[in-house]
């Protein structure tokens, strides 16, 4: 019998205790750790590499969706959401075939969800989390900061301090005050989280904070050279040039 290592993430001690007691009854489950907030969860997922995460949605510091975004949806372990969330979010879970435990839940409902996780472990494809995060998190306000990994530690980056963003493979690299951080998000998902009045896409692979633009210069083929305050030179492509008047 393959052992399933589990991580419990919930800011309520009683909720963690209930999951701990239910998991103790399962001979194929072991508890790898417990977390009381989203920041602890990101660190634990990176360090412990659990097979299964019981993830609360509404938590201080970083909510459940923020945990997924910080870790990267493609890198998340199998995830069972534990939530008292609103009906819209629950419908999103159902549409994307992601299992969840709605508080308060019964022992029978817990066992059914755990069986679903076992099926994922035995080869049944897990539903992708990124579309779920986009849909269920649509009503959330834009974050005022992002959690990013910097070597062995995590750093909160305030959104107004981001100077520009570039695509890097399937991720993005954000540039802040002479340094940069890799975020496990796509350009398309990130642009929806940035305030439109300040951040503008200038190329399919670049977003700029217009507060950090020093000057614009004519360039080849109807494009413009965007020179940032730190001297970085970027290209405003013809595709996005028509939005220039909106900046003003």
Q: Edge-to-edge strand order for the sheet containing 52-56? A: 29-35, 4-9, 52-56, 78-83, 100-102
Q: What pLDDT score does 127 carry?
A: 78
With 90 as the cut, is the pLDDT of residue 214 above it? yes
Please state, rounded to an integer, the average pLDDT across all residues of the chain: 87
My answer on whether 14 and 132 are in the same domain is yes
What is the domain-level CATH number for residue 22? 3.40.50.2300
Is 56 in the same domain as 95? yes
Token representation of residue 181: 């951080």
Q: Do both 82 and 184 map to the same domain?
A: no
Is residue 16 located within the same domain as residue 98?
A: yes
pLDDT at residue 96, as a whole number: 67
Q: Are 16 and 85 part of one and the same domain?
A: yes
Domain boundary among 89, 115, 136: 136
Shared domain for 8 and 31, answered yes or no, is yes
Note the pLDDT tens digit of each residue in 57-75: 888 878 888 898 889 888 8
Considering the domain architecture, whether residues 243 and 189 belong to the same structural domain is answered as: yes
Question: Strand, coil or helix: what is 102?
Answer: strand
Tokens encoding 153: 């530690």
Which pLDDT value is given to residue 92?
66
Alpha helices in 72-152, H assignment, sequence order: 87-95, 107-121, 130-136
Count other Cβ atoms within 10 Å, centred on residue 123.
Answer: 6
Task: Print the SS3 string covering 138-185.
Answer: CCCCCCCEEEEEECCEEEEEEHHHCCEEEEECCEEEEEECCEEEEECC
Count of domains forming the chain: 2
CA dist list (Å): 94 to 39, 98, 100, 235: 27, 6, 9, 42
* pLDDT tops 60 at residue 88: no
Question: For residue 227, what is the DSSP state?
Answer: E
Residue span of the structural domain in which 242 resides: 145-247
The kind and range of the H/E element at 246 are helix 244-247
Q: Which two tokens stand for residue 125?
A: 């494809």
State the virtual CA torsion across 28, 9, 75, 29 in degrees, nearest 10.
Answer: 0
CATH code of the domain containing 234: 2.40.50.1020
Whether the pLDDT of residue 98 is over 80: the answer is no
Same domain for 123 and 159?
no
> Do 8 and 122 lie in a common domain?
yes
Same structural domain for residues 162 and 39? Answer: no
**How much is the pTM?**
0.78
- In a shared domain, residues 15 and 126: yes
- Give yes or no: residues 12 and 101 share one domain: yes
Name the more confident of 126 and 11. 11
């Amino acid at each position: 019998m393959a052992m399933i290592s589990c991580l419990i993430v919930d800011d309520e001690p009683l909720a963690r205790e209930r999951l701990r007691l239910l998991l103790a009854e399962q001979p194929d489950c072991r508890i790898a750790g417990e977390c009381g907030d989203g920041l602890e969860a990101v660190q634990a997922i990176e360090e412990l590499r659990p097979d299964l995460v019981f993830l609360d949605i509404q938590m201080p510091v970083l909510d459940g969706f923020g945990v997924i975004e910080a870790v990267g949806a493609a890198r998340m372990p199998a995830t069972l959401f534990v939530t008292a969330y609103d009906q819209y979010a629950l419908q999103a879970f159902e549409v994307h075939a992601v299992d969840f435990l709605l508080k308060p839940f019964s022992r029978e409902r817990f066992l059914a969800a755990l069986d679903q996780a076992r099926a994922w472990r035995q080869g049944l494809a897990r539903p992708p989390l990124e579309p779920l995060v986009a849909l269920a998190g649509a009503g959330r306000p834009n974050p005022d900061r992002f959690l990013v990994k910097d070597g062995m530690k995590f750093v909160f980056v305030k959104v107004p301090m981001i100077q520009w963003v570039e695509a890097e493979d399937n991720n993005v690299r954000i540039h802040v005050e002479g340094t940069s951080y890799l975020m496990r998000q796509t350009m398309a998902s990130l642009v929806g989280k940035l305030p439109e009045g300040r951040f503008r896409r200038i190329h399919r692979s670049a977003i700029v904070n217009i507060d950090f633009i020093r000057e614009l210069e004519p360039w080849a083929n109807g494009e413009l050279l965007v020179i940032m305050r730190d001297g970085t030179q970027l290209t405003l492509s013809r595709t996005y040039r028509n939005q220039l008047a909106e900046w003003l």
